[in-house]
């Protein structure tokens, strides 16, 4: 690895820092939420801004060699950061802002490091449950410091719990999933980063989403991969693209289950 986080101490410093900033800037604001709407109609809270600013300061202080891309950065700043030769941080300061603004305690902070187009580490922190999902490329995934494996007792698609975001799927696909679902039951939790992590933890077994940004999926994508899960876009490309474009996602806890799920989805595209 060509970054400092292969070593124990920088890795622990990063995890501890993100956890503390999230507690200070996000969790303390959970039941006192003021928000505005951005041009695209999505919500922006004081917690989004405070978390992004504090996290950027922390990262700059400890690892100034890496550039910074935040969800609340301008598009030109995001594009410039992704092209940085030494790498860049990708932060979603509050993933699940609609939940957060509605006092629904399912939201997260997502941070990834991308170097030369590869995601080399990812952290997703759930402040309400004090759960930190984390992974380093080729070093495995973890949940609160313990090894995380996407092991599931549900080997057959028809026995699975599925995480589905109907809103962003092609209409005919969404309709077919509602009327003729191949899985046992379905959930939609409202935080893309936690979607990936809950699949990695086996809390649900299959997943599909029609359009997510790089700050939504970057950390969770690596965590699932390192936990032994599998993913692709609806067109069977890698979800990860080091660009500010939206990507679809299909995922499962194992390659075998992924094959069943992808085959079924391909029939209704």
Strands of 206-212's sheet in order across: 185-187, 161-164, 206-212, 247-252, 230-232
Tell me, yes or no, whether 8 and 43 share the same domain.
Answer: yes
Boundary of a domain, candidates 92, 121, 148:
148
* Helix (H), strand (E) counts: the chain: 8, 14
Boundary of a domain, candidates 127, 148, 169:
148
142-149, Cβ contacts within 8 angstroms, sequence gap of 24 or more: 143/201, 148/200, 148/201, 148/223, 148/226, 148/227, 149/202, 149/227, 149/228
Q: How high is the pLDDT of residue 206?
A: 97
Three-class secondary structure assignment of 21-65: HHHHHCHHHCCCCCEEECCCCCEEEHHHHHHHHHHHHHHHHHCCC
Tell me, yes or no, whether 130 and 175 share the same domain.
Answer: no
Tell me, yes or no, whether 127 and 167 share the same domain.
Answer: no
Separation of alpha carbons 229 and 257, rounded Å: 9
Boundary of a domain, candidates 125, 148, 171:
148
Tell me, yes or no, whether 183 and 98 share the same domain.
Answer: no
Tell me, yes or no, whether 108 and 188 share the same domain.
Answer: no
Tell me, yes or no, whether 192 and 174 share the same domain.
Answer: yes
Tell me, yes or no, whether 111 and 235 share the same domain.
Answer: no
User: How many domains are there within the chain?
Assistant: 2
Q: How high is the pLDDT of residue 39?
A: 53
Tell me, yes or no, whether 61 and 15 share the same domain.
Answer: yes
Tens of pLDDT along the chain (269 residues) come to 578 999 999 999 999 999 999 999 999 998 776 655 555 546 568 899 999 999 999 999 999 999 999 987 888 889 899 999 999 999 999 999 989 988 999 999 999 999 999 999 999 999 999 999 999 999 999 999 999 999 877 679 999 999 999 999 999 999 999 999 999 999 999 999 999 999 999 999 999 999 999 999 999 999 999 999 999 999 999 999 999 999 999 999 999 999 999 999 999 87
Q: How high is the pLDDT of residue 122?
A: 98
Domain with residue 140: its CATH number is 3.30.540.10
Contact 101, 43 (CB under 8 A): yes
- Segments forming the whole domain that contains residue 237: 157-267
Contact 250, 234 (CB under 8 A): yes
Tell me, yes or no, whether 8 and 112 share the same domain.
Answer: yes
Tell me, yes or no, whether 29 and 75 share the same domain.
Answer: yes
Domain with residue 250: its CATH number is 3.40.190.80
Closest CA to 112 of 73, 147, 146, 71: 71
Pairing of strands 67-70, 88-95: parallel
Tell me, yes or no, whether 57 and 168 share the same domain.
Answer: no
Tell me, yes or no, whether 122 and 204 share the same domain.
Answer: no
């Amino acid at each position: 690895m060509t970054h400092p986080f292969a070593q124990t101490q920088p890795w622990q410093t990063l995890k501890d820092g993100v956890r503390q900033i999230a507690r200070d800037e996000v969790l303390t604001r959970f039941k006192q939420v003021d928000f505005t709407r951005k041009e695209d109609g999505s919500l922006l809270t004081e917690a989004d801004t405070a978390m992004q600013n504090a996290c950027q300061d922390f990262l700059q202080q400890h690892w100034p060699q890496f550039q910074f891309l935040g969800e609340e950065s301008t598009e030109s700043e995001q594009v410039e950061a992704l092209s940085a030769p030494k790498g860049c941080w990708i932060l979603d300061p509050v993933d699940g802002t609609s939940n957060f603004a509605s006092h629904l305690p399912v939201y997260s902070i997502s941070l990834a490091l991308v170097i030369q187009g590869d995601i080399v580490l990812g952290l997703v922190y759930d402040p309400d449950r004090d759960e930190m999902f984390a992974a380093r490329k080729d070093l495995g995934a973890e949940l609160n410091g313990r090894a995380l494996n996407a092991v599931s007792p549900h080997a057959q698609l028809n026995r699975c719990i599925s995480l589905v975001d109907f809103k962003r799927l092609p209409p005919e696909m969404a309709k077919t999933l509602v009327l003729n679902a191949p899985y046992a039951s379905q959930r939609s939790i409202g935080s893309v980063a936690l979607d990936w992590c809950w699949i990695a933890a086996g809390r649900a077994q299959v997943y599909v989403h029609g359009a997510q940004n790089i700050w939504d999926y970057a950390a969770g994508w690596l965590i699932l991969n390192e936990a032994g899960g599998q993913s692709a876009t609806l067109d069977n490309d890698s979800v990860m693209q080091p660009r500010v474009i939206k990507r679809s996602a299909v995922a499962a806890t194992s390659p075998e289950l992924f094959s069943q799920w992808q085959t079924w989805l391909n029939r209704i595209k």
